[in-house]
Structure formats: C-alpha cells, structure tokens
Chain A
Amino acid sequence: MKKDLRIGLLFALPWILGFIIFLAYPVLASLYYSFTNFSILREPSYVGADNYAELASDTVFHKALINTLIYAVGAVPLSTVVAIGLAMLLNTKVKGMSYYRTIFFLPSLVPMVALGTLFLWIFNGDYGLLNEGIRAANLEPPNWLGDPAWSKSTLMLISMWGCGQAMVIYLAGLQNVPVSLYEAADLDGAKLGKKIWNVTLPMLSPVILFNVVMGIIGALQVFAVPYVMFPGGAPARSTYFIASYLFDNAFQYQRMGYASAVGWVMFIITLVLTLLALKMSDRHVHYETE
C-alpha cells in the first residue's frame, strides 16, 4: 500500500507542486492581501476589513459588477441558444457538413486581441461594415462603440460569434442521443418541436450544464476584448467589468490589496452562481447513468 502511495504521488508530483505554488498559495495569499494596503513598491500594511468596507460603498465597483452581471445574463443564454441551434442544424447530416462545421468553429480560434481589433473596425459607427449594411436596409444604425446603451450589446454579439467550441461539444452530445428515442417519439406522432423538447434537450442536459457553467465562469471574467476595444470602459464606464477594475487597481492605481479584495468578491460570486446552477440542475438535468 505504502509503495503504491509513493509511486502515485511521484507521478502526480508536477501537479502537486503546481497546485501548491500556482493555486493554493495564490488563493491564500490573495486572501491575505485583500486585508492589506499593498502598493507593491512597499511592504503590505494591514488595514483590516477596510478594503471590503470600501467595496461596499464603491460606486465604480457596483457599476462594474452590474455591467458584468448584465453581460453574463446576456451573453451566456445567447451563446448557448446559438450553439445548440447550430449544432442541431449540423446534426441533420446535410451535405457539406464538415465545411459548415469548420466555418462556425473557426472564429473561436482567433485570439482575443485580433477579435477586438477586427470588431473595432467592423462596428465603427461611421465607416464600419455593419452599420453600412444597416444603412443599406434604410434603417438608422446605432453607434455600437460610442453609445453607452449599445456597447454591451456589441460585446455580447462578439461572444456569440465565438461560440464554436461549445457548438462542437453540443454536436458530439447530440450524436450520442440514441436514435431509438426519436423513433419512439415518431411512433407517438410527435412533431419536431415536441421531439426537441422531450427528447433532445433532456438527453443533452448534462452537456448543457457543463457549457453553461463554463460559460458563466468565463463571462464573469471577461477582460481582453473590452480592454482592446473600450479603453477605460468607455463610453461612460458602460463596458467596465470586474476584471477591468481589478486590473486597473492592481497595475494602474498601485492598489494590489484592493484588487485582491475585488478578486475574492469575484470568486465568491462565481462559486455562488456555479453552485446555484448545479443545484437547479438537479431537477432539470437527466443523467443516463442514474
């Protein structure tokens, strides 16, 4: 027994070390820093719960938090619906499926920075491709980048465009649904909509859960694209997110202690939302292996 433990730990050593150095230590350290004022040019000095108290009344933090939640509430369902929809379309074994699959998947490979730059170009209010198209249809195009009412929608659209990875997972999930279930539904005279609701979605539910959870975690941390497209959260802080505020506090305002507090609040929120999703899933998700 002892020998097994030794060998097991030996092989797992890189991860054990990695876990301690790059996960456990930073998590605990950031908890410690969140109770200090740490400018990185001086030693951290203890300030008790001041940072958290400040967060509670920090209107910029509140704005960032609300922005992030709005974005998550918009982007996650949108991407999920689009990804599932695309997967279902692709699952119909049409001709040229592999070409379509490639086209839908490709955008998710593009680096965030390139995406940001490309869409700065496309969403430009005056000469961007999108607004030119809208004007061609005789509609009044919004100012995607300059209007605080539209900036978040711009980001949500961009996230939808990058849903290729989720789509592929759904596609694999769909292909695992036993055909017999559909045949049984057909015998019962079920129409397409009923089949989707009663067969496809329940069978797909574990996969949906996984993707939604990962989607929530990702949406709460959104940083790179807004950083490139909307410096400072312009216009009027409408695209300022928790991760942006954390970054600015850590690297612009020299307030690493405060940034750590922001990070921990973010962590707690992520945990809560994830647990909520898992709890809600108990009732709606159907596992074959039960």
Chain B
Amino acid sequence: MNWTSVGIFGLAATLVVGAVVTGERVITRQDRTDRVTVIYWEKWTGSEGEEMRKVVNAFNESQDRIFVKYLSISGIDSKTRLAIAGGNPPDVAGIWGDQVVQFADANALTDLTELANDKGLDENYYIPAYWDGYVYKDKVWALPSTPAAIALHARPDLLPPEVATPETFPKTFEALDALVEKISVQGPNGSLKLAGFLPSNPGWWNWAWGYYFGGQLITGDKVTIDTPENLRAFRWIAKYTKKFGSQEVQSFQGGFGNFASPQDPFMSGKVAAEQNGVWKANYINVYKPGLEWFAVPMPYPADRPDLKGRSNLSQDVLCIPRGAKHVKEAFEFLSFVQKQDVMEGLCSAHGKNSPLAKVSEKFFDTHPNKYIRLFDQLARSPGAFNIPKVGVFPQISNEMNVAFQEVNSEQKTPERALADAQQRAEIIWSTYRKQVLAQ
C-alpha cells in the first residue's frame, strides 16, 4: 500500500467529516430543553433590530414557559416563503404589511382569527385603516409590529419666509409646484443644485401617486390604472422632468446619498421638501441633529378638496407561517407585543406611530418625532389608504415603478406608460385569478 496515498486519503476524510459536522452544527434550530423555543425571523438590523430584541428579551423574562429566539434575516419575504415551502418555517415572521394578502392567497399563513378574538384583538382595538391591513377574506392573518404614515417634510431654511411654517406651507399641488418653480436653483449649464421637490425622491411609493389625485389601482375586481386621475398624477410627474430637464434630474438623482446618512438629499439640502414617513425624524436626529424641519400633510389637487389629508400607510407585521411548530406559543408572543405599553415603547423607539385605537399622552410627549400628533391624525383620517388588497400587488407595484421610471426619464409619455402598465397589470391579475384564486 502506498503510504502517501493513505495519508492523503486520511487527511481528506478527516477534513470532510470535520467540515460536515461544523456545517451541521451551524444549521440546527438549537432548541432549548427547558422551554418551548419559538423561532422569530425579523427583517430589522441595526438600532431597529435592537429595539425589537429588547421586546423579545422582556417577553422571555416575563414568563418561563416560552423562549423566543430572534434572528435577523435579509430578504425576509422570499426566505420565509422558501422556508414554508421547505417545511421548516419560523414560528413568527416579521414580513411587510404589503405582503399579507399574497401570503394568505398562497396558503402560507396560519389563520389567527380565533386566537385574536380570544384575546380581544379586534377592530375596536386598532385604528381602522391599520386594522384593514391584517384582515383579508374575513380572517385575521397578521398583527402589527410597527406601522407608519406618510407626510410632506420641509426645511424652512430653504424656503422663503412667507411659506416657511406648517400653517403657511403650500397645501395644494398647484401651490407646491409654484413654490418649486420659485426656489429651485439650476447652475449655468442646467445642472440642478437645489430642487424644491422631486417626485422621484425617495421613490419608494410610486404606486401611490395616483391615489393623491383621486385615482385607484384596483377598483373592485378590475384594474384601473389607466384612468383620468392616475393620468393626471403622471402628467404632474412628467412636468417635473420637463421643468428641470431629464438629464439634469438623472444626474442630480445619481448623486443622492443613502437615506440613512448625512448625504440624504433632504438632510444635505438638495431638496427643500420631501415625501417621507414618520420614521424620518429618527434619521434626522441621528445624522443631522439640530436640523430645522417640519411636517405637513401631503398636498391635494386644488379642485379636489375632498382629497385633503391623504396619506399612504404602511406597516411591519408579525405573522405565523403555516406549518409553524409552536402556534399557540408564537401567538402568546404576538399578543405580548400588542399590549399598549409594549407597542407604544417599540413604536416610539422606531420613531413610528402606534396602530392602537387608544393612545396615551405619554406616547405623544416622549416621542422622538415632534410632529407625531400629525402622523397619528393622518392615520386616523378617512383619507388614509393602504395598498390594494390583491395578491399580485408586488407585481403591480413593479409595473408602477417601471411606469414611473419611464416617465421620469422621458422614455414614454404618461399616456403610453399608464396604458402599458394597465395592459400588463390586467394580464397579471387575470392569470392570477385563474391560476391561484380559483384553487
């Protein structure tokens, strides 16, 4: 026998065994033996993740039967889907509220209706617009972790004094446009230095513009993208590109720093007003403390005062995937998070508003966002709206993003972009109804 061969073979075998064992160790669920282990996957990292960890720790300390294990997962939606498909899902998943319907349609969630009713977590406990995001086809599929509302943020130092307060800032789109004309600064070669406002910033809610002009994406059973109201919204978007010049807008956008940094366009003074969420205050406090700013409701078209006070809502929610090993225990954790003091503590730390119908004065007084009352008001107003409740929202949102980009870069006219998006969405929606909902 060739000894070097034996030596090499032995080494290889040892390596393999060692590697496999190490690999397996990394993967295990690592369940505790003394308590029921609930695996909780959440999308948050950084300080937001830390705050949720605190809640988890509080829950673990408050009783001794259940231990919640918090794991930070990137790409939480697709990973959760794959885990459910793989038969090994987490017990609690922190997905986005926008995905509840899609998951429910795909039979990926555990029905929480009975459990929620038992604990009194019903439509009276929550703000109606938020509650709407947990219910689909008369069943409860998720409960909130932190909700949010959107408003227009402005920097008084970049505004002429006559409009530099919440009371005097433009209320209609027309007035906003006029202001932008006045204060935007372009260099001699056309390059943008200061944009009063840019619809493409931050560009996270391109599906919602039509709603501010009275349109809707889905009405009843039909796709209603190509409608006069949505067209009006997109024409308004196109106006901004025309005003500044497509090249200039693109270069300008290209230089925007990350939103969680001092190079954020609002914080670095590249834009004077910005559509953003209730959490913005937190980021300003961290990256540009001392910055003067205020928040007002998003504008409305001057001829449609009925659209005053609109705000698109979003939520982070907690759900229990289908096939979770410890449903009862997982729900105990969920209801712990729903307690008023816990929920308010978490939302306040995240700089967001609370989804509960009842809210304490302490919440308002100690909240890091000095305009929290405004956001709370917006969430309770009849003008608050959610995403359309269809399982194909991710695809439709994509189509609206593309339509927005096409109009913003002058690749298509608003009419063409919306017509194409309408056509695409109709196909997506009808295929979905045929293939998924019929099952």
Contacts and interface: CB of A to CB of B under 8 A. Distances in A.
B16 interface: no
A232 B395 CA distance: 11
A254 B439 contact: no
Interface in B89-115: 102, 106-108
Interface stretch (A90-98, A141-149, A185-193, A195-203): A141-149
Interface stretch (A53-61, A102-110, A170-178, A279-287): A53-61
Nearest to B436: A39
Interface string B395-439: 100100110011001010000000010011001000100011001
A101 interface: no
A179 interface: no
Given A125-B255, A254-B81, A235 B409 contact: yes
A41 B254 contact: no
A254 to B, nearest CB: 6
B247 interface: yes
A237 B102 CA distance: 23
Contacts of B436: 37, 39
B406 A236 contact: yes
Interface string A231-249: 0101111000000000000
Nearest to B82: A251
Scoring B84, B106, B402, B436 by chain A CB atoms within 10 A of each residue's CB, the highest score goes to B402
B360 interface: no
A180 interface: no
A237 B395 CA distance: 13
Q: Is the interface of B mostly helix, strand, loop or mixed?
A: helix
Interface residues of A, number: 30
Contact of A42 (B107, B254, B255, B392): B107
B57 interface: no
B356 to A, nearest CB: 32
Given A42-B439, A253-B395, A124 B254 contact: yes
A146 B250 contact: yes
B398 A232 contact: yes
Interface residues of B, number: 35
A127 interface: yes
A41 B107 contact: yes
Interface string A35-61: 001011110010100000010011110
A125 B435 contact: no
Contact of A145 (B84, B254, B409): B254
B119 to A, nearest CB: 28
A58 B399 CA distance: 13
A126 B106 contact: no
A39 B438 CA distance: 13
A57 B427 contact: yes
A252 interface: yes
A236 B427 contact: no
A148 to B, nearest CB: 6
B417 to A, nearest CB: 9
Nearest to A249: B395
A42 to B, nearest CB: 6
Interface in A123-179: 124-127, 143, 145-148
Nearest to A237: B402
A41 B84 contact: yes
A7 B55 CA distance: 63
A146 B251 CA distance: 8
14 contacts: A41-B81, A41-B84, A41-B107, A45-B435, A45-B439, A59-B423, A124-B255, A143-B254, A234-B401, A235-B409, A236-B402, A251-B78, A251-B82, A254-B81
Given A41-B108, A54-B427, A232-B398, 9 more contacts: A41-B81, A41-B84, A41-B85, A59-B424, A125-B250, A125-B255, A126-B251, A234-B401, A253-B395
Interface of B: 77-78, 81-82, 84-85, 102, 106-108, 247, 250-251, 253-255, 322, 392, 394-395, 398, 401-402, 405-406, 409, 411, 420, 423-424, 427, 431, 435-436, 439
Closest 7 CB pairs of A and B: A125-B254, A126-B255, A236-B405, A37-B435, A40-B85, A146-B250, A143-B250
